[in-house]
A and B are shown apart, each in its own frame.
Chain A
Amino acid sequence: MNKKKGMGLLARQQAAGWAFLTPATLLIFVMSFWPMVRAFIISFQTGSAANLKWAEPVTKNYQRMLQDKMFQTAMGNTFLYLVIQVPIMLVLAILLAQLLNNKDLKFRGLFRTMIFLPCATALVSYAIIFKSLFATQGLINSALVGIGILKENYNFLGNPASAKAVIIIALLWRWTGYNMVFFLSGLQNIEYSVYEAAKIDGANAWKTFWNITVPLLKPVIVMTGIMSINGTLQLFDESVNLTNGGPANTTITMSHYIYNNSLGQGVANFGYASALSFIVFILVAVLAAINLKVGDTRD
């Protein structure tokens, strides 16, 4: 009797557990996985959106991709942003978090708030702000000419190299504070006594940081790393609003190019756009997996 009742209770708990996660799970399946399946099917089709037909041969869109110079440019740009921006941002974020975690530091709350503030601005807004600041007649130019670093106003957004640099600077500005908050929280979970012990052992600041802080922060580094890689590979708003992919498509990102192929330029090639976005999906998944693996093996 007693046993039976216990089983019933356990079963009921089990049922409750499943019930709690059902709405969220269903929504993710319907709103993320199912559209992805649809997109996968569409990636084997061609024609206008109202009249999609199976491609001949079915892998045509994927074969096409190999000859697509523009997509290769877009992929190159996206990886450039990834390779330069993500490491700088994460290192800067850890450094800032480390500085702000010092209990002797005054105005910690104020610094933290100020550094976090950029990520409260809308993507559309901050793209507009940076575009105006870096315009040929904009404030940055006036300042640099005023100090004497530049002889004459420089067209930052009109030259491929400097336009890419502006995008990277904008990304650093927007996201460093956001990541810093995660690191700061991670640091606060580390007991102060661990540091005290290290001090007694005579470890210097650099050694302490490298041998104690970084390993303890590893889960946070992996998490922010995955989030940043994912965000950068799907970079869209900055490319659209800051440079519109220009000059001459030298700053365009993968997502922006996909958007142009599906909804951007009046030429709705959904089949091809879906095929392209699958490649992005695979890239993100592979990089995230590598990130997780690297995070594991350092243990």
Chain B
Amino acid sequence: MVAAGVFLVARVYPLMSIGAEPGGTTAALTVVTWVGAATAVFAALIAIAQNDIKRILAYSTVSQLGYMMAGLGLGGVAVGLFHLITHAFFKALLFLGAGSVIHGCHEEQDIRRMGGLRADMPLTFATYAIAMLALCGFPIFFSGFWSKDAILEAAQHWSVAKGPFYLLVFGALLTAFYMMRQVSYVFLGYWRGRKVAHESPAVMTLPMTVLAFFAMALGLIGTPAWPWFHAFLDNRAAVFDLHAFAQPAWLMLLATSSLVVFLGLGLGWRLYGNKSPRPEEPDALEKSTPWLWAPLHDRLYVDEFYGVTVVAFFTWWARVADWLDRRVWGGIVAAVAWLFGLWAQLNRSLDVNWVDGGFDKTCEELSSGGGLLASVQSGRVQSYLRILAAAVVALAIILFWSSRP
């Protein structure tokens, strides 16, 4: 699945190589190359100091993805994808083998609690060894050798810099070293686990055998003598030419990469071969060079780096935004509501004191005026008659007055 990224780069390779001279390169491809080569070494370093059988393989995969990327940047689609395909087979085999080992060791994943499985799980050991040698790039008989050599060859002829070549060669050394370490811990020496291990059933070993065949044979489609895969991608027929093996440059490369592989395997054997340290005992590398072991064992602090940068950044901003929502925006809403409440209070007091006050005043006036009138309605006939008489007199005067000529 992780190879999807490599495939993506292969797909956009035409875009990345726009403007490249024949045999030349572009800025994009240079970046791909350097990132790939750096990844190959970086992840291989981490893989050296891990104790979980699958974690070693996982970092090994990252390292090999680096090789594929470098292959794409250096030699083009055919080189990168060839390694992708061979790697798919032997890495699948390694993971199946690891699964078989874990199953056989009763769900144990710590390589320090294994050992001596060579005898207990012979079929798993045989296939695992094939895959391991393919991954290391053991010469001639294993597919990984051919695909990795194609990458190294392209690196050697790269016009821009020699750095990636040295990085990739160093990576190959590390690969051979960590795989030898793992195999020594798991299959060589003597058993250090709790319950006795057992070989896995055929349903697990049969697929491993099939994959083991391809881990060896698949190199045949991409040798310099018969580069069928390259020709297939270019949509042309492959030419069979044994003389390609006789070229001095290729022989030189063969010698170099063989030397590196043997050196890596030899170093691994020297430090770990048949030693079978007890699980509590520190690793051989830890004993000799603790300053190197500690950062590698802690995976070069990549996870911690992301923890204090990306994760911390987003967490902090998320808290700020949450605080803004609760305090600032919520506060503004509350403040606006409070202001309107205040305004309403003001209006109410205006109503109570002025509008209602005025109304009440009017009513009071009216009622006191009514009281004045009411005193007239006393019910005494004499006073009514007195008012009546006064009114008649007043009326007579008005009539008399108004009817004057």
Do A and B interact? no
